[in-house]
Structure 1
Amino acid sequence: MSFMQACFLFFAAWMSGVLNSVAGGGGLIIFPALIVTGLPAISANATSTLASCPGYIASISAYRNELWAQQQLSWLFGSVSLVGGMLGAVLLLHTPASVFDQLVPYLLLLATVLFTFGNSISTLLQIAPKETAQNSSCFQIKASFVQLLISVYGGFYGLGISFLILATLRILGIKNIHQMNALKVLMIMCTDSFAIVTFIIAGVIAWQQFFSDGFKKFSHRLNSSCS
């Protein structure tokens, strides 16, 4: 990797960190940037997932009170996300590179649509369940299944997952924005963590590119969480 490519990735990571700290969707910047520097699409996707994870880890401390206040949902969604993230990563690794290359434009389009219209879609689909619904077995089974599908997508590709999660939480009747963001950060971190372990074992992480952008995201997200 040349010096100019390293500078380009550093700037892309900074922009991605700013976007993630404000609204999410930073992967729409860093994933194409990694491809531009010459990485294959699968390696770029795996490296982008790893680069985003430190920022979410730093954000967990800012939401610890909200997560503690909803321990049941936190354990439920976190556990399901771990399993789904690993399944998605395994699915990605068993997808031929040529097939994934053909899917990338459509996946980017999907992520862009989610980023642009995520709030409008979730508002249109929002359900107003009874206050006790979140404690029911039916709610928990339904929520677990939906989150499993989202986390599989997150392990496989991941761009736009934050908007899928927020839309799902609204549909399920969770209205407090701080609780939603806390659960979102937890679920993405759990999804990414098992996916990352799978990617590391498979040897598809581009470590040189990661060290150019991963710690920039971590420092920016940590500063945003503390402010």
Structure 2
Amino acid sequence: MVLQFIFLIAAGIVAGLMATIAGLASIASYPALLMVGIPPVIANVTNTVSLIFTGVGAIPASLKELHGQWHRALGYTILAVIGSVSGSALLLVAPASTFEKIVPFFILVAGVMLLLSGRGKELKEEERLRRAEMHPTRHKILTLASYLGIVLVGGYLGYFGAAGGVVLLAILAVITRESFAKYNAVKNVMTFACNLCSSAYFIMTTTVAWHAVLPLGIGLLIGGFCGPKIVRHVNIKLLRILIAIAAFLLAGDLFVKAYF
């Protein structure tokens, strides 16, 4: 029992770092819950409840990047939360066996999205502004599509969430004109709110493995607090590649367990 407690703390630290740096907490925390014997759907619910602690650690550590962005962060967060409640309800309606079979594909897409979201970030701010001015109608359409995308990703975060943060990063890269560290901080606020709302719904309607929430939450709090500080200095490109490789390996492992 002590080893399991320590294991979940360690998994939580890794997941908290991945959440705040790359938006991929569930790739570490969800499998950890499966490894200690928690059934898939309950593991996913427990994971979502535990992820609240990531935001508790990440938001205070992101205050420097969030300065002057709270109005924008609030607007985007409202859109994401609208979707998250629907996604949470869908999780409890869908059969557990269905969820277990589609999770490997979620994680596979997570790895792909992580790699794709890192492309094109070298475009200079002046060039981005010039393109927006040259095509105002296209820019408006893209912005509206991005807002709809935030609602849909919010729904996905409520359902499972792996790669949800990555997709949010990709969307924010399109509709904001800030550095990675700044829109990553906005993403941390959005995912925290989605996890909080989904958790409230889950606690009232289904089973949570509370014995796992405490150790995993401790780790997520530590990782969530350290992540934004690391983002200011780490080689993001290399980190994305390493995490994507881990995602592909995990997706293959879960696929074999679900289908064979």
TM-score, normalising length: structure 2: 0.74
For the residues of structure 1 that align with 2:75 and 2:23, how far apart are their CA atoms? 23
* Partner residue, 2:106: 107
Q: Given the superposition, is the C-alpha separation of residues 51 and 104 from structure 1 closer, same or farther in structure 2, using an over 3 Å criterion?
A: same
Deviation at 1:86? 1.0
For 2:207, which of 204, 208, 215 is the aligned residue? Answer: 204
* Partner residue, 2:146: 143
For the residues of structure 2 that align with 1:117 and 1:140, how far apart are their CA atoms? 19
Report the secondary structure of 1:25's partner residue.
coil
Deviation at 1:145? 1.1
- 5 Å matches for 1:36-185? 36-64=35-63, 66-120=65-119, 128-130=131-133, 141-185=144-188
Report the secondary structure of 1:120's partner residue.
coil
Structure 1 unmatched runs, 5+: none
Deviation at 1:182? 2.1
Superposed CA deviations along residues 39-89 of structure 1, whole A, max 9, x for unmatched, are 111111111122222121222223345445234422211111221111111
For 2:220, which of 211, 217, 220 is the aligned residue? Answer: 217
For the residues of structure 1 that align with 2:204 and 2:222, how far apart are their CA atoms? 26
What is the letter of the counterpart of residue 165 of structure 1? Answer: L
Report the secondary structure of 1:39's partner residue.
coil
Deviation at 1:165? 0.7
Deviation at 1:226? 7.2
* Partner residue, 1:31: 30
Of residues 173-182 and 193-202 in structure 1, the stretch that sits farther from structure 2 once superposed is: 173-182
| Count of matched residue pairs | 223
- Residue 129 of structure 1 contacts residue 172 of structure 1 at CA under 8 Å; is this kept in 2? no
Of residues 200-209 and 3-12 in structure 1, the stretch that sits farther from structure 2 once superposed is: 3-12
Superposed CA deviations along residues 180-221 of structure 1, whole A, max 9, x for unmatched, are 112111111111111111111123321001112101221343
Q: Alignment identity in percent?
A: 24
Q: Given the superposition, is the C-alpha separation of residues 21 and 185 from structure 1 closer, same or farther in structure 2, using an over 3 Å criterion?
A: closer
For the residues of structure 2 that align with 1:169 and 1:157, how far apart are their CA atoms? 20
Deviation at 1:4? 3.5
For the residues of structure 2 that align with 1:39 and 1:122, how far apart are their CA atoms? 39
